[in-house]
Amino acid sequence: MSAYTAKRLPRQTGAAGWNAILPPQAALPVLDHDLTADVTIIGGGFAGLSAARRLHQLDPSLKVAVLEAGQFAESSAGRNSGFMIDLPHDLSSDNYAGDALDADRAAIAFNRMAIDFAKGVAEDCALPQEMFDPAGKINAAATTAGDRHNRDFATHLERLGEPHQLLSRQEMQELTGSAHYTSGLYAPGTVMIQPAAYIRALSAHLAGQISVFETSPVTGFAKQGNGWLVSTPKGRVTTGTVILANNGHLESFGFYQRRLMHICLYASMTERLTEEQVRRLGGASRWSVTPADPMGTSVRRISGSCGDRILIRTCSSFHPGIETSPMRLRNAGWVHDRKFKERFPQLDGVRMEHRWAGMLCLSRNGSAAFGELDRGVYSACCQNGLGIARGTLQGIGVAELAVQGGSDIASRFLAQPMPPKLPPEPFASLGANTYLMWKEWRSGKE
Ligand SMILES: Cc1cc2nc3c(=O)[nH]c(=O)nc-3n(C[C@H](O)[C@H](O)[C@H](O)COP(=O)(O)OP(=O)(O)OC[C@H]3O[C@@H](n4cnc5c(N)ncnc54)[C@H](O)[C@@H]3O)c2cc1C
C-alpha cells in the first residue's frame, strides 16, 4: 500500500512583514473533522491557490479542499518581494537574460498567461492598485559592471522586441531619491503585488467557493481504495486526487529526494516614514528595483494604506533541512541596514520594523517538479525563484492536467527534464553556500 508521511513541516523565521502591515483579518477554519473531496490540495501559496481557482473554473461542481500548514500569507507566498515578472529572470546568469531567443519568447508568453490569471484574481477580489500594480520594474545598477549588465540585457530585450527604456543616473535619483544608482533599465510588464494582500484576498475569495483550511498541516497521505486518505492533526480528507503544491516540502514527503535546492532569502522593511522623512527621501512614492546583478539587492518603496515604507531584500543561504536560524536572520539584518544606509543616507535614524526569512526552491537545471507522481497524486512545485508568476502558472497547469488530462501549460512543465541530483552532504551545503557567498561578494554595491 502506498503511504507518504511528512518528514518535516514548514517552520518560519521572523514574521512576514507584508502580512504584519495589513489590518488583522479573521482566521480561516482549521480542519477539525473528516471530509470528502474530489481534489485535495496540499499548500496554499501561489501554486496551491491558483490550482484551486483553476479547478473551480474548469468544473464548479468539483469538491476541492485546500490544506495550508500555517496561516495564509505567512509562508513564502507572503514573504517575497512581490515582483510578478514577465521577462526572463535567470538568477544564475550575470544579467537575467536566458540563452535562446525562442525559449525566452515562450517563457515570456507563459509568464504573461500567469499575469492575466492574476489580473482576474485582482478584479474578483477588488484589490486596489497599491496591492496589484501593473507598474513594471527597473533593473538598477550601482557600478560600471551593473551598467554593462543593463546595456547587455537591453540589447537582449531589443532582440526579443520587448519594450524597455534605459534610465540615466539623474533619472534614477529623481525616481528613487537615492544617489546610489548609476543607471536603470525599465521594462513595463512586471506587476508589483503586495504578496500577503494578494494571498489573503485569494484564499478568502476561494473560501466562498470551495473548502479552504489554514493551520492544517498535512502529516501524511495513504492509498485508500481507488483514492487517498489525507491526514492532518485534527481531521482527514477522503479524496480521489491529491495535488502537492507545497514547493520545497515536496521533498519532505519523499519525492524528488536530493534533487531540490532549498535556498533561504532575507528581507527587512522599515517602520512607517514620517511626512518629514518622506520629504527628506524625495523621489516618487512607489517604485521597485531589482539589482542589475541578480545576486545584488532588491529595493521597493511603497506608499498607501500600509504607510510609506522601504523594503530591502538581499542575502541568501542554502538549507537542505528547509529551515534557517534566527542567527542567520540577524546577520542578514546587519547587511540590510548597511545597504539601506548606502542608498538612503538622508534617512539616518529610520528603523527596520520587520525582518524575516523565507525559503524558495530551485533545481540545478531550472526544471520544475511537476507531473503525476503516483496514481491520482500530482505535484506543482519548485518555482526556481520566480514563484509568483511560475507558481501561478504551475497551479493552473496542474489543475488542467488533473481535470483535462493536459494543456499547453501542463505540457510546458511536463517536457522539462528531471532536476539532476545534488552532491551528497556536506558537499552540497558547502559548495552551495560558498558559491552564494562568492556571488554576493562579487555583486558588491549592486
Ligand atoms: C524574501 C523572498 C523574496 C522573494 N521575492 C520574489 C519575487 O519578488 N518574485 C517572485 O516571483 N518570487 C519571489 N520569491 C519566491 C516566491 O516567494 C516563491 O517562489 C513562491 O512563494 C513559491 O510559490 P509556491 O506556491 O510554489 O510555494 P509557497 O509559496 O512556498 O507555498 C507552499 C505552501 O505549502 C505549505 N506547506 C508546506 N508543507 C505543507 C504541508 N505538509 N501541509 C500543508 N501545507 C504545507 C507552506 O506552508 C506554503 O504556504 C521570494 C522569496 C523570498 C523568501
Condensed to tens digits (0 to 9), the pLDDT of residues 233-282 reads 999 999 999 999 999 999 999 999 999 999 999 999 999 999 999 999 99
Given a cut of 90, whether residue 443 has pLDDT beyond it is: no
The DSSP output letter for 250 is: G
| Spacing, Cα 383 to ligand 1 middle (Å) | 9
Rounded distance from Cα 264 to ligand 1 centre (Å): 11
- Statement: residue 92 has pLDDT above 70: no
pLDDT band at 437 (very low <50, low <70, confident <90, very high): confident
Nearest CA among 277, 292, 83, 96 for reference residue 198: 83
Atom of ligand 1 at shortest range from CA of 70? 47
Q: Which of 53, 54, 80, 268 to mutate to test the pocket of ligand 1 (most atoms within 8 A of CB)?
A: 80
- Please tell me the distance between residue 368's alpha carbon and the centre of ligand 1 in angstroms: 14
Q: Ligand 1 atom 21: the closest Cα is on which residue?
A: 77
Residue nearest ligand 1's atom 37 by CA: 246
Confidence of residue 194 (pLDDT cuts 50, 70, 90): very high
Q: Which atom of ligand 1 is nearest to the CA of 219?
A: 41
| pLDDT, the chain, mean | 95
Atom nearest to 46 CA in ligand 1 = 25
pLDDT score at 90:
67
- How many angstroms does the Cα of residue 162 sit away from the middle of ligand 1? 28
Q: Which atom of ligand 1 is nearest to the CA of 264?
A: 53
Residue 1: predicted pLDDT: 65
Nearest-CA residue for atom 2 of ligand 1 = 80
Ligand 1 centroid–CA 378 distance in Å is 18
Q: Omega into 426 within 30° of 0, i.e. cis? A: yes
Q: Which of 276, 109, 311 is nearest to 195 (CA)?
A: 311
pLDDT at 97: 63
| Residues 120 and 392: beta-carbon distance below 8 Å | no
* Nearest protein CA to atom 14 of ligand 1, as residue: 80
Q: 166 pLDDT exceeds 90?
A: yes
Q: Which ligand 1 atom minimizes the distance to the CA of 356?
A: 1
Beta-carbon contacts of 148 under 8 Å, excluding residues fewer than 6 positions away, are none
317 forms bridges with which residues in the sheet? 264
**Residue of the nearest CA to atom 13 in ligand 1?**
80
Strands (E), 278-432: 287-291, 298-302, 309-318, 352-362, 369-374, 377-381
Share of the chain above pLDDT 70, in %: 98
Strands 236-244 and 35-42, by their bridges, are: parallel
Q: Is the pLDDT of residue 71 over 80?
A: yes
Ligand 1 center to residue 435 CA distance, Å? 23
Residues whose beta carbon lies within 6 Å of some atom of ligand 1: 6, 9-10, 42-48, 67-70, 75-77, 79-83, 217-218, 245-247, 249, 265, 267, 313, 358, 360, 381, 383, 385-389, 391
Q: How far is the CA of 261 from the centre of ligand 1 (A)?
A: 14
Closest CA to 356 of 20, 82, 10: 20
For 309-364, the pLDDT digits (tens) are 999 999 999 999 999 999 999 999 999 999 999 999 999 999 999 999 999 999 99
Query: How far does residue 295's CA lie from ligand 1's centre (Å)?
Result: 19
The number of the ligand 1 atom at minimal distance from the alpha carbon of 82 is 8
Q: How far is the CA of 116 from the centre of ligand 1 (A)?
A: 20
The answer to whether residues 89 and 96 touch, using CB atoms and an 8 Å cutoff, is: yes
Three-state DSSP class for 422? Answer: coil
Collapsed DSSP state (helix, strand, coil) of residue 76: helix
CA-to-CA distance for 287 and 278, rounded, in angstroms?
Answer: 14
Q: Residue 361 corresponds to which cell in the numbers above?
A: 526552491
CA of 348 to the centre of ligand 1 (A): 33
Residue with the bigger pLDDT between 343 and 442: it is: 343
- Say which amino acid occupies 308: D
Residue 433 has pLDDT above 60, yes or no: yes
Q: Quick count: other Cβ atoms within 10 Å of Cβ 424?
A: 8
Q: pLDDT class for 95, splitting at 50, 70, 90?
A: low
* C-alpha 172 to ligand 1 mean position (Å): 31
Pocket test for ligand 1, best of 49, 246, 392 (most atoms within 8 A of CB): 246
Quickly state the pLDDT bin for 100 (edges 50, 70, 90): confident
CATH 3.40.50.1580 assigned to domain 3-443? The reply is no
**Alpha carbon of 201 to those of 57, 118, 122, 194, 383: distances in Å?**
17, 12, 8, 11, 22
Which uninterrupted H or E stretch holds 285?
none
Task: State which amino acid sits at residue 98.
Answer: G
Could you identify the atom of ligand 1 that is nearest to the CA of residue 6?
A: 41
Residues 48, 379, 429, 265: what is their CA dihedral angle, to the nearest 10 degrees? -20
Tell me the mean pLDDT in the region 18-29.
Answer: 95
259 close to 420: Cβ distance less than 8 angstroms:
yes
Helix axes 101-124, 387-404, angle to 10 degrees: 80
Q: 360 C-alpha vs ligand 1 centroid, how far in Å?
A: 6
Name which residue sits closest to atom 32 of ligand 1, judged by CA: 246
